[in-house]
Amino acid sequence: MRVRKVLQKCILLVTLTLFGCQDERQGEYTPLFSDTPTQHTQRYIFGVHPLHNPERLFAIYQPLVDYLNLHLHGVRIILEASRNYAAYDKKLFAGYFHMALPNPYQTVTALEKGYRVFGKMGDDHNFRGILLVRKDKNIRHVTDLKGQVVSYPAPTALAATMLPQWFLHTHGVDVLRDIQNRYVGSQESSIMNVYLGESIAGATWPPPWRAFAKERPEIAQELEVKWSTMELPNNGLVMRDDVPAAFEQQIALLIFALHTHAEGKAILAPMELSRFEPAVAETYRPVQAFLQRFEAEVRPIRESP
């Protein structure tokens, strides 16, 4: 039995590696297309921030891109994933993407880097952090985490890192001194770290946790959501300033109507999302206020992009 348990843990560690950050030497994961755009087709790169590891992200978001391409004329959207948050931030803040789905921190920063907000994910009640623990660890109070490892996807993940760290800060835990913060590269890795006992608690947010629980119920049943954080506006949709307004209008008409028909609902379902909706820069004022307080009281978010 002991040998079997050791083998099971080794298998799970391999699974964790596959779920986590991709090896830096592998570069970006990109899809292959069987048809080649014509010479006169304008191509726009759509960058979705690392909500999941690249392969999973393509599985979830490529149907949206396929739908948009089917209904657009004279243009083609190319979906691009990034191996981690740092790689995504670098591309977004350099203006590499024509259109992007960044998290709220990245959204407000992108406004200073030549982008405009035109929409966002709906379901703001889901844009909150959650902290998972193993049921058998008997964790009762936030302060029980002191001296322990807490896992997160990445330093600039807002819902899954900054909001949980703010929660810890406001409940008696000094994030920089009382715990060891471990940034593991993806939502799935943060969850798996808790299950494997590599961290006492793991931070994520509701949509990836629900998706994980559906796919790995035997693991999810060993964990519980111990704490939940405040909410903020959900992930934004931004367009680079030099992209024609006519293209933005076409995208808006298509994407904001997805929830009104069966095909669109099928596209939204794997995202654990009910709808996309219009938004403007003002929508993210609460995010800007939160980020200012977070940096003043908890830790620096990152060096200037």
| Residue matched to tokens 């193993």 | 134
C-alpha dihedral sign at 209, 81, 159, 151: positive
* pLDDT computed for residue 12 by the predictor: 52
C-alpha distance from residue 259 to each of 119, 235, 253, 276 (Å): 14, 17, 12, 8
- Reported confidence tier of residue 287, pLDDT bands at 50, 70, 90: very high
- CATH topology for 128-231 is D-Maltodextrin-Binding Protein; domain 2 (3.40.190)
Do domains 41-124+234-297 and 128-231 share one topology? The answer is yes
Is the confidence at residue 4, as pLDDT, over 90? no
Cα 303 to the center of its chain, rounded Å: 20
- The pLDDT tens digits of the residues spanning 228-249 come to 999 999 999 999 999 999 999 9
Provide the residue ranges of all domains of the chain, joining segments of one domain with +. Answer: 41-124+234-297, 128-231
Is the confidence at residue 251, as pLDDT, over 60? yes
Q: Minimal CA–CA distance to 149: which of 171, 175, 130?
A: 175
Is the confidence at residue 28, as pLDDT, over 70? no
Is the confidence at residue 6, as pLDDT, over 70? no
Give the pTM. 0.83
CATH number of 41-124+234-297: 3.40.190.10
